[in-house]
Amino acid sequence: MHVDPSRHSNKLAVIGTGYVGIASAIGFAEFGNYVVGYDILSDRIRQLQRGLTPYHEAGLAESLAQHLHSGRISFTDDLSAAVEGAAFILIAVGTPTTESGSADLSAVEHVISSLAKLDLGNAIVVVRSTVPPGTCDLLADRFDGNVEVIYSPEFLREGSAVSDFLNPDRVVIGGRSDSAMQRFADLLAPLMRPTLTMSATNAELSKCMSNAFLAMKISFANQVANLCDEMDGDALQVLNAVGGDRRIGRQFLHPGIGFGGPCFEKDVKSMIHLSRTLGVDCDLLDATLGLNDRQPGRISLILEAELGRPVRGMSLGVWGLTFKGGTDDVRDSLAIRVIEDLAAHGAEIVGYDPAFKDPDHTLPCRLAHSALEAADSDALLVLTDWPQFRSIDMRTVGHKIRSGLVIDGRNVLDGDSVVAAGLRYRGIGRRRSSDAAELAEAG
């Protein structure tokens, strides 16, 4: 079956083919719309036309192929063709952080300027990118009242983007026009989720503060873990008990080397920048970021304490380079920050990652082809929470690790299995509980 999207009333244009753009395109196609994806990057458009996704996510290529085949999704690098006849134009371009901590809105600005030159009919422009409060009202003014601009943030995570798109806890829509917000709410009605409408500024704040709160939860968990490390506590047990209170909740209380990726740090910085600009105290946000900046340093502290010597000259194996499991994204990955820090202090590092395989990488480490190859080291560091690391037989890799030390920076391994394989295990916030020597003494 092939459908001409320009002749369909539910045509959507999605501007930007990053994580948010592609997941949204697939999501809207899933419930019956016709979506044209546009990007300024012509090479990427050609790849997408052939069904090649620009990033790794389980199931994504299959969904894309299915919708390319049905004709519900197509791609173009011609903006006017993308928006022609569209009922909604979704903007999903990147908004990285600048030196000062404010958001770099140049890509959004560029899209708006280009759109302002085109005849958009009665299309509604929907901003999906994360933008600082106040942005969408300013963008709306660029159309001199001829086009409605609303803000509806995405809450999807990399690695589970399409299923998050299809299963949001709530839909947030902000704008000046009730009828435009209602039209977009109708488009999202198949999701059958609570829809919260508000001003664009409140919707923008909702997105940034959701990420800031999640980041704060992680820093809180890491604070608890660091305390447990000094007092024979087990942070996983403590946080399981704390999060068991439904008012608190267990999600995002998993301690480790901190939060990475392109969103949390950027959004917390953007809220700090906004608060400072307005003269509002932001101690909680500062502390969230400060703790996260220091957290990767736990790895070298544990390493030196356990092996009783500086890292200079050590040969270290690393499992996991991406900012979290399930993605090949290394942007703001704390695993990379740990590697850079250890390499700067004279360690030699061999890294293995199930998804990141870039032969042109500039990381200060050699890439191994397997987890076994990376384990051939003085000590093994686990820095990304890839679930498949749990099923590696530590008896098979253990004899490669000369000191027998495994530092689990994401608390992803089963400490008892590591210890049962005759190795020494250190998690974050689980300093003593799984220590082989102490277990033996206690037994």
The residues that touch ligand UGA, with contacts defined as CB under 6 A, are: 130, 154-158, 211, 214, 218, 252-254, 256, 259-261, 263-264, 323-324, 385
- To ligand UGA, the closest distance from the beta carbon of 385 in angstroms equals 6
Contact by Cβ (8 Å): 289, 268: yes
Q: CA 202, CA 176: separation in Å to the nearest integer?
A: 11
Contact by Cβ (8 Å): 149, 125: yes
Q: CA 348, CA 331: separation in Å to the nearest integer?
A: 22
Q: CA 152, CA 285: separation in Å to the nearest integer?
A: 24
- To ligand UGA, the closest distance from the beta carbon of 64 in angstroms equals 19
Contact by Cβ (8 Å): 332, 366: no
CA atoms within 13 A of residue 1's CA, in its CB half-sphere: 8
Residue 136 bears catalytic tag: no
State CA 197 to chain mean position distance: 26
Q: CA 76, CA 38: separation in Å to the nearest integer?
A: 5
- To ligand UGA, the closest distance from the beta carbon of 322 in angstroms equals 9
Nearer to ligand UGA, 156 or 375 (CB): 156
- To ligand UGA, the closest distance from the beta carbon of 340 in angstroms equals 16
Nearer to ligand UGA, 11 or 430 (CB): 430
Nearer to ligand UGA, 136 or 421 (CB): 136
- To ligand UGA, the closest distance from the beta carbon of 114 in angstroms equals 24
Q: Work out the end-to-end distance of the chain between its first and last CA atoms, rounded to an integer number of angstroms.
A: 68
- CA angle 320-326-328, nearest 5°? 65
Q: Where do we find the tokens 């969230």?
A: 288
Nearer to ligand UGA, 75 or 264 (CB): 264
Nearer to ligand UGA, 264 or 356 (CB): 264
Q: CA 19, CA 14: separation in Å to the nearest integer?
A: 12
Residues in the chain: 443
> For the chain, percent helix, then strand, then coil, each to nearest 5?
45, 15, 40
Q: Please pick, among 136, 208, 263, 365, the residue that the annotation labels catalytic.
A: 263
- To ligand UGA, the closest distance from the beta carbon of 399 in angstroms equals 30
What's the burial of 66, exposed, middle or buried (CB within 10 Å: 0-12/13-18/19+)? middle
Nearer to ligand UGA, 180 or 335 (CB): 335
Phi/psi for 60 (5° steps) reads: -65, -45
Nearer to ligand UGA, 37 or 261 (CB): 261
- To ligand UGA, the closest distance from the beta carbon of 400 in angstroms equals 26
313: Cβ contacts below 8 Å, ≥ 6 apart = 346, 347, 348
295: Cβ contacts below 8 Å, ≥ 6 apart = 219, 222, 256, 257, 258, 334
- To ligand UGA, the closest distance from the beta carbon of 43 in angstroms equals 24
80: enclosing H helix or E strand:
helix 79-83
Nearer to ligand UGA, 11 or 324 (CB): 324
* Active site residues per annotation: 263
